[in-house]
Amino acid sequence: MRKKNWRILKEEYSDFNMNQVQFADKVKTILEVDDHVIGLAVGGSWLSNQLDEFSDLDLVIVTETKITDNRSRMLAYAEKFGNLLSAFTGEHVGEPRLLVCLYDDPLLHVDLKFVTLDEFAVRIEDPFILLDKNDRLNNVLKTTEAKFPFAGYQWMEDRFWTWVHYMLAKIGRGEYLEALDAFGILRMLVLAPLLHKKNNNLPRGVRRVEQELAEGDLEELKRTIPHYSRQSLLDSLAHAVELYGKLRAELFEENIILRKETEDRVMHYFNEIKAMST
């Protein structure tokens, strides 16, 4: 989908989602006079023209030297941009260079990622450039390539059956909440990325599955959402295994080593758990 340019964005976005555009414009104005800042870019929903009233704003601030080793410097920038309610760094998603911010007036979630020019070259997508002093960001985009992370089919096959065994053990012991949480991991790391691949999307976990998967594929994924009961957990896990098998047959290349012995032993254990009295 074609990316809208800055002028078109400000003219065409309706009032309900102008908050993100206005905030980004304010940040751009503030950083234009900051000699330590090389440029400003935006990613996420902005890139696919899917910005709406529920969207976060994903900003990338490129600085001359590294500032992410000093949280107070990151916060100092965040506080310049608006009425900052709360901010914390992104270790929970493996990204300490990220400052997750919640602003007020208007209430808006903004992710600020601080990188140097060298770090800007390593990216999962080509962002939209809002500010580029001396065309340095565009030069990086022209000479390097974005790579969206994908664990790979072998990575999934090596883990899937052990995860299924773990879930069966939790169901067998009656730790249903633990098993319920594990379904989310299975969907996030294996099933949803494979379904995205099948639908020629980026393998972004469960992000936008409601909008981007074919209706039948979404229904298949929804069948892996159990209720809090032993039978529902077992039924949903059986469907997850069936769905994985279908996707594996459709998507995996011939060089992927299938862990058949592990699969057979785990499925035998599955039958043992099903036969247990509650």
Given pLDDT bands bounded at 50, 70 and 90, which one contains residue 8?
low
Q: Name which of 4-13, 95-104, 106-115 the model is least confident about.
A: 4-13
Burial of 267 (0-12, 13-18, 19+ CB in 10 A): middle
**Residue that wins the pLDDT comparison between 45 and 189:** 189
Same domain, 134 and 169: no
**Residue 140 CB contacts under 8 Å (≥ 6 apart), including other chains:** 117, 120, 121
CATH number for the domain spanning 262: value is 1.20.120.330
Given pLDDT bands bounded at 50, 70 and 90, which one contains residue 111?
very high
Same domain, 94 and 164: no
Same domain, 16 and 132: yes
Residue 51's pLDDT is what? 83
Residue 14's pLDDT is what? 44
Asked whether residue 17 carries a pLDDT value surpassing 60, the answer given is: no
Residue 11's pLDDT is what? 54
Spatial distance between the Cα atoms of 211 and 201, rounded to a whole number of angstroms: 11
Average pLDDT over residues 133-146: 95
148 domain residue, yes or no:
no
Asked whether residue 27 carries a pLDDT value surpassing 50, the answer given is: yes
| Cα 231 to chain centroid, rounded | 31
- What is the count of structural domains for the chain? 2
Same domain, 164 and 136: no
Same domain, 112 and 204: no
**Domain span holding position 99:** 6-143
Asked whether residue 119 carries a pLDDT value surpassing 60, the answer given is: yes
Asked whether residue 91 carries a pLDDT value surpassing 70, the answer given is: yes
Average pLDDT over residues 120-147: 94
Given 143, 177, 208, the domain boundary residue is 143
Q: Say if CB 190 and CB 160 are below 8 A apart.
A: yes
Average pLDDT over residues 98-107: 96
The tokens for 129 are 């450039």
Asked whether residue 2 carries a pLDDT value surpassing 80, the answer given is: no
Asked whether residue 16 carries a pLDDT value surpassing 50, the answer given is: no
Same domain, 126 and 166: no
Residue 3's pLDDT is what? 45
Residue 7's pLDDT is what? 52
Give residue for tokens 């300490």. Answer: 96
Asked whether residue 168 carries a pLDDT value surpassing 90, the answer given is: yes
Asked whether residue 167 carries a pLDDT value surpassing 50, the answer given is: yes
Asked whether residue 209 carries a pLDDT value surpassing 70, the answer given is: yes
Same domain, 82 and 24: yes
Asked whether residue 1 carries a pLDDT value surpassing 60, the answer given is: no
Asked whether residue 6 carries a pLDDT value surpassing 60, the answer given is: no
Residue 9's pLDDT is what? 52
CATH number for the domain spanning 91: value is 3.30.460.10
Spatial distance between the Cα atoms of 202 and 66, rounded to a whole number of angstroms: 30
Over pLDDT 70: what percentage of the chain?
93
Across the chain, mean pLDDT equals 92
Asked whether residue 20 carries a pLDDT value surpassing 50, the answer given is: yes
Same domain, 163 and 247: yes
